[in-house]
Amino acid sequence: MMIPETAVRAVVVNCLFTSLAFIFVCLRLGTRTLLLKNIGIDDYLITGAMVSAIGFLTIMMLQIKAGLGRQVTFPELPGFLYALWATVPVYGLCLVLIKLSITVQLYRVLRTPKMQKFLRVYLICITITGLWTVLSTVFNCWPVDYYWNFATGMAGSCMDKSVVTFTNAGLNIFTDIILIAVPIPLLWRLQIPRRQKIVLMCLFGVGTFTCIISIVRLQALYQISIAPPAEQSIQGVNIAIWSGLEINVAIMCASVPALKPLVVRFFPRMLLSELYARTKGAAYYASHKAGTAGGGSNTGGSNAGSRQDHLRSGGRGGGTNGSALRSANRAEIQVEQSFEMKSVPMTTMDLDDGGGKTSSRDGSEKNLVVASWQDDYYSTPIGGKKVTITSHPREIV
C-alpha cells in the first residue's frame, strides 16, 4: 500500500504511541497478576481500551488506503467515508473505557465517604455520556449506511455532523477536567510523607496531558469543518494524529499509577519514605552493636544463633570479655523494649474515614515488597532479658 507523504506522520505517530501504550498495559497487567496477584475491573476496562486503540490504528490504515492524505475521487468516496465513520465510534469507545477504568481505580483507592459518593455519581455520568458519544456517531445517519452512500442518491437523513462532533469533544474535555481536578486536593490532605504525596499527585495529574491534547484536537476539528469538501480528506490527517495521541496517551496515563508497585519492587528508594531508611538503619545499628559487644563481628543480616554464640563466648572470657558483656547489657538497655519497624511503601494509601481513623482494604496490593529485607526477626537473650527486633511489611490500600 502506497502511503501519501502527507499521511506518513499519522502512521508514524499512531504506530509509535500505540506500541508504547501496549507496553504500558502489558506492564500493568503483569504487575497486577504476577506481583500483586490481584487483577481488578479497572484492569479489564483498560485492556478493552487497548483493544479499541489497536482497532483505531487498524481502521486508520484502512482509511489511508481509501484516500486519507490525498484528494479522494468520486468512486473512492463511499469507501473513504465508511472508514471515517468506523473510526469515530471506536475512538469514543476507547475514551469511555479509559475513564471508566480510572474511575474504578480511584474508587478502590480513595475510600473517604465524600470521594466514594462523588465517584459513584461520576461513574453514572461517564456511562451516560459514553453511551451518547458512541451511539450518536454510530447512528448519526438513518439509515446508517446513508453516511457513506449519500452521494449515490440514497434516501436518508443525518444529524448535523459539526454539532455532534463538537458536542462530544466538549463533553470529553469537561469530564477530563473534572476527573483531574477533584482528586488532587484530597491527595494533598492525605497524612503521608510529603515526597510520596507529591509523587501520587504527579501520577494522577499526568492526565493533564490528555486534556491538553483534547483541546488541541478541537483546532483540527475546526479546520476540517471549514475546509472545502475536496480538501477534507487531507485535513483529516491532523485529526487522525491528535485522536491517536489522545487515546494512547490517556491509556499510558491511566496505567502509570498501577505501575507503582513494580517501581517499588525494583527501585524502592525512589518512592519509599525516609521512615524506611531511618528504621532499617536503627535495626542494623542495634543488632550490630549487640553483636560486636559479644566479641565478634556481626552484620544486620546475621541470624540470632550467631549472636548468641558471640555473647556466650564473651561470658566465658576474662576481663575483656566480661567488659564486653557489660557493654552488651548497656546496649540491651537501649533496645530492651520490643519495637516494630514498619516500612510503608506507598503503593496505595491509608485514608481518613471521617472519624479520625484510617481504613484499609486487604488484598489490593499483595506481595508488594519482597520479604527478604523486611521479615528480619532477632531474639537475643542478654543478661536474662530478651531483646526482640522485628520488621514486617505493611500493606496499605
Indicate whether 179 pLDDT > 60: yes
CATH topology (fold) of 5-268: Rhopdopsin 7-helix transmembrane proteins (1.20.1070)
Smallest CA-to-CA distance from 288 within 380, 386, 385, 391 is with 380
Q: How far is CA 292 from CA 31, 130, 238, 321, 365, in A?
A: 41, 67, 70, 11, 39
Domain span(s) for CATH 1.20.1070 in the chain = 5-268
Is 138 a residue whose pLDDT tops 60? yes
- 49 or 276, which is more confident: 49
Residue 359 in grid coordinates: 481504613
pLDDT of residue 205: 67
When comparing pLDDT for 76 and 189, which is higher?
76
Dihedral sign from CA coordinates of 278, 280, 285, 287: positive
The reported pLDDT for the residue numbered 393 is 38
Q: Tell me: the pLDDT tens digits for 296-314?
A: 444 444 444 444 444 444 4
Mean pLDDT on 101-115: 85
At residue 122, the pLDDT reads 93
At residue 225 the predicted structure's pLDDT band, cuts being 50, 70 and 90, is confident
pLDDT at 345 over 80: no
| Residue 387: strand pairing partners | 380
Beta strand segments in the chain, E: 141-142, 157-158, 339-343, 351-352, 358-359, 377-382, 385-393
336 contacts 373 by C-beta, under 8 angstroms: no
Identify the sign of the CA torsion 107, 189, 185, 180: negative
Strand partners, 377: 390
pLDDT at 1 (0 to 100): 67
* pLDDT mean over 81-107: 93
Instruction: State pTM to two decimals.
Output: 0.68
CB-based burial label for 125 (10 Å; 0-12, 13-18, 19+) = middle
107-124: b (≥16 Cβ within 10 Å) or e: bbbbbbeebeebbeebbe
204: Cβ contacts below 8 Å, ≥ 6 apart: 180, 183, 184, 187, 257
pLDDT recorded at residue 269:
63
- % the chain with pLDDT above 90: 37
